[in-house]
Chains A and B, each alone.
Chain A
Amino acid sequence: DAKTTQPPSMDCAEGRAANLPCNHSTISGNEYVYWYRQIHSQGPQYIIHGLKNNETNEMASLIITEDRKSSTLILPHATLRDTAVYYCIVVWWTDKLIFGTGTRLQVFP
Chain B
Amino acid sequence: GAVVSQHPSRVICKSGTSVKIECRSLDFQATTMFWYRQFPKRSLMLMATSNEGSKATYEQGVEKDKFLINHASLTLSTLTVTSAHPEDGSFYICSLWAVEFYGYTFGSGTRLTVV
B75 on the A face (CB < 8 A): no
In the complex, the chain B residue whose C-beta lies closest to that of A100 is B43
Q: Give A38 to B49 CA distance when docked, in angstroms.
A: 21
State whether A44 and B93 are in contact (beta carbons under 8 Å apart), knowing that A34-B104, A102-B43 are contacts in the complex.
yes
Stretch in A13-21, A68-76, A91-99 touching the partner: A91-99
Q: Which residues of B contact A44 (CB under 8 A)?
A: 44, 93, 95, 106
Q: Which residues of B contact A96 (CB under 8 A)?
A: 34, 46, 49
Q: Give A74 to B43 CA distance when docked, in angstroms.
A: 22
B85 on the A face (CB < 8 A): no
What number of A residues sit within 8 Å (CB to CB) of B? 21
Q: Give A46 to B2 CA distance when docked, in angstroms.
A: 11
Stretch in B11-19, B61-69, B76-84, B107-115 touching the partner: B107-115
Contacts A/B (CB < 8 Å), 20 sampled? A34-B103, A41-B111, A42-B108, A42-B109, A43-B95, A44-B93, A46-B105, A87-B43, A93-B103, A94-B32, A94-B97, A96-B46, A96-B49, A97-B34, A97-B46, A98-B46, A99-B43, A99-B44, A99-B46, A102-B43
